[in-house]
Amino acid sequence: MENTMWLRRVMLGVRLFLALVFIVYGGVKLLGGQYYYGDWVLDKKTVQGPSLVWAFYGYSPFYGRMTGLFELLPALMLLSSRTATLGACALFAVGLNVTVMDFAFGYPEVKYYILGYTLLCVSLMVYDRKRLLLLVRRPAEIRALSPAAGSSPVPTGR
């Protein structure tokens, strides 16, 4: 029982930490920061990978802000236990994309931060694996888990 309570608190801390990180990143992008907007000229011989990515995403202010929205909305979902699992899955997808991009385009040490955030999303998904398994179970299997059958309809790691 004590181990379960400790794990619940750790996972709550992970959720709140990730929510804060991605609310900040998403908010910055929504407010028009981080990417290179406006006029610029790129030369492959003089521009490194990270600058190329910022310019590419900044080419379309709409797209740049949408990337912020895709970070902000799932981060807000982490703040509620009802939507946290879905938020963790969405942030995993976003984080995996950013992680691959950061490693592929040679970002400095920051690439290890996003790798860590992505792995924390994985830890949230593993913690809520029983809820995620309900998405792929057949209706008969879910009915067998219902209270009438003596079990909770939505098993959780909590």
The structure's pTM equals 0.78
84-104 helix and 2-30 helix, angle to the nearest 10 degrees: 60
What integer pLDDT is reported at residue 97 of this predicted model? Answer: 93
**Residue 123 · residue 14 · CB < 8 Å:** yes
User: What is the block-wise mean pLDDT of the chain (158 residues), using blocks of 10 residues?
Assistant: 83 96 93 78 77 80 90 96 93 95 85 95 93 78 63 51
Q: How far apart, in whole angstroms, are the C-alpha atoms of residue 87 and residue 94?
A: 11
CA 18 – CA 79 distance, rounded (Å): 10
Collapsed DSSP state (helix, strand, coil) of residue 29: helix
Contact 67, 29 (CB under 8 A): yes
Tokens (6 digits) for 68:
């912020």
